[in-house]
Structure 1
Amino acid sequence: MVTLPEPGHRVVVRYLLPSGQATDALGELLEADAETVVVDGKRGVERIARADIIAAKEVPPPPAPRPRIV
C-alpha cells in the first residue's frame, strides 16, 4: 500500500490505465481514503483507484514563473 501525505500537499501519483500503460497525476491531493485518491492537477480533478496506484510521493511546489524579457 502506498503512503500519501495529508490532503493539501502537492503530490505525484503514478498509476495504471485500463490499457496497462502507466501515467502520472501531478497536483494537489484533495482527498484519499481506502479506495480512492483524488488529485487536482493541470488535467483537472482525477479520481484514481488505490488498486491502480504503482507509486506516489509528495513533491515540492512548482518553481516561480520566470520573468519575461522584452
Structure 2
Amino acid sequence: MGGRLVVAISPADVGRRVTVRRRVPGGFRDVVGELISWHGGVLAVRRRDGELVEIAEDTLAAAKVVPPPPERRGR
C-alpha cells in the first residue's frame, strides 16, 4: 500500500535542493528545485529551468531534501 506523506523540510533547508508535493484542486502537483526562501507561510522553489514556484505552506502534502542532480557528461 502507499506510504505516509511527510513534510521533512523546514526554513533551515533554504539553499538546499528539495522535492515538494502540494495539494491543488483535483489532486497534487510536484516541484523539484532549490528552496530559495520560506517567509510568511510561503515557500519559493527555483526549478532547474529557472522558473520560481511559490507554494503556500498550508498546501504542503509532502516534502524532503534530495541530492543534487547528476552531472551531465559530454555534449
What interval of TM-score do these two structures reach, taking the shorter chain for normalisation? 0.7 to 0.9
Distance 1:35 1:56 in 2: 15
Amino acid paired to 1:48: I
- How many residue pairs get aligned? The number is 67
Q: Give the counterpart letter for 1:6 in structure 2.
A: D
Q: Given the alignment of the two structures, is residue 13 of structure 1 paired with residue 8 of structure 2, yes or no?
A: no
TM normalised by structure 1 equals 0.81
Contact 2:8-2:65 within 8 A present in 1 as well: no
**TM-score scaled by structure 2?**
0.76
The equivalences for 1:1-70 within 5 A come to 2-4=7-9, 5-17=12-24, 19-41=25-47, 42=49, 44-68=51-75
Unaligned runs of 5+ in 1: none
Further displaced range: 51-60 or 41-50: 41-50
Matched residues in 2 for 1:39 and 1:58: separation?
12
4+ long deviations beyond 2 Å: none
- Please identify the structure whose Cα radius of gyration is greater: 1
Identity over aligned residues, as a percent?
36
